Structure 1
């Protein structure tokens, strides 16, 4: 197993740890959960960097990396929905999770057509991921309603704008194939 794939698997292993620490009745549990999330998010960048730098890209890694990201983000957003018990958290979280499902299905379908490259990750998608990770980190680290949590919410809504924008880009790129398949 190559180092980038080990880092991706480690990111998946961090998910139950984030959940457990988030719910632990410890004084600094939110900071610890956010720190584990940040470490996991950093491995996302690092595994991609190493895969390219060491020429260790594999089909398994190309499959597992986005799965690990979507699991980590979806579970963390679920924690935040539970903690905030607010429609203002639930709506953006569900938009982000819904977009991930739609784009995953779109990529799978385009791959079956042999056209996966036509919906490759864009710069807006990368910016979306960065802002999303930052907002989740901030929100995990703070109790609901705090001033810093409000900053996290603003960042999350910014991530939602980029989420919708990037989804529209992917759908536009795939539209000719979607239309012909209807």
Structure 2
């Protein structure tokens, strides 16, 4: 275990804490959950930086990091769908979760044929993740009552959350297109 792997493990261990705080029957539950989510997001950036900067990459880290990311994002999105109870959140959530499952399966399939590098994380994928994390943070924070800042009757955080969510959905679809396009020659080949 090195520092990046410890940070990634910490992120996984924060998930039940995040969920517990989200459901606490206190006024600050959403604020607390949003802060925990933000800390987890920063550890994601920080563990990757340390791993690359100090050459601490490992097979365990390569496995755990995407697992931690997907767990945190999917669990957070499910909670947000419950919190807002609207198709304007549920439909983007379905797109995001569906894309995660599709691309994870595609990467696994490509790895079986030694072609995983053809569907490695792209720049658009990283930008998509940043917008997703922002959307989740703002939407959770937007559930806090009373709203910290109102914009024409809406919480500023909810407005920012919706905006970020729809930008992340556009980037989600774009990145999925890039990955499927890269894999298409292998998917349509008669033999590999």
TM-score category (smaller protein): over 0.9
How big is each residue's C-alpha offset from its partner over 1:20-42, in whole Å with a ceiling of 9 and x where there is no partner? 10110112111110000000011
The answer to whether residue 14 in structure 2 is matched with residue 5 in structure 1 is no
Which deviates the most, 123-132 or 22-31? Answer: 22-31
* Structure index of larger Rg: 2
Tell me: CA distance 1:181–1:62, structure 2 relative to 1, closer, same or farther (3 Å). farther
What secondary structure does 2:57 align onto? coil
Q: For the residues of structure 2 that align with 1:181 and 1:11, how far apart are their CA atoms?
A: 42
The offset of 1:147, in angstroms, is 3.9
Comparing 155-164 with 54-63, greater Cα deviation is found at: 54-63
What is the TM-score when the length of structure 1 is the normalising length? Answer: 0.96
C-alpha separation between the residues in 2 aligned to 1:64 and 1:147? 34
Bigger helix fraction: 1
CA distance in 2, matches of 1:81, 1:147: 19
* CA offsets 1:134-172 (integer angstroms, 9 cap, x no match): 110001111286342122011101000000000000000
For 2:124, the equivalent position in structure 1 comes to 124
Call closer, same or farther: CA 1:9–1:55 in 2, change over 3 Å. same
Q: What is the distance in 1 between the residues matched to 2:168 and 2:190?
A: 31
Match of 2:173 in 1: 164
The aligned residue for residue 174 of structure 1 is: 183
**Where in structure 1 do 4 or more consecutive aligned residues deviate above 6 Å?**
none
Aligned length: 182
Is the partner of 1:27 in helix, strand or coil? coil
Structure 1 residue runs of 5 or longer lacking an equivalent are: none
Residue 150 (1) aligns with residue 159 (2): yes
User: After the TM superposition, which residues 39-118 of structure 1 pair with which residues of structure 2 at under 5 Å, given as runs?
Assistant: 39-118=39-118
Residue segments in structure 2 that go unaligned for 5+ positions in a row: 145-153
TM-score normalized with structure 2 length: 0.91
- Tell me whether 139-148 or 62-71 shows the greater mean CA deviation: 139-148
Give CA-to-partner distance per residue, 1:45-75, whole Å, 9 cap, x none: 0111011111110111111111110000000
TM-fit CA distance, 1:94: 1.1
Q: Deviations over 1:77-103 (max 9, x none)?
A: 010000101111101011101100111
* Alpha-carbon shift at residue 181 of structure 1 (Å): 5.6
How far has the Cα of 1:180 moved from its partner? 1.2
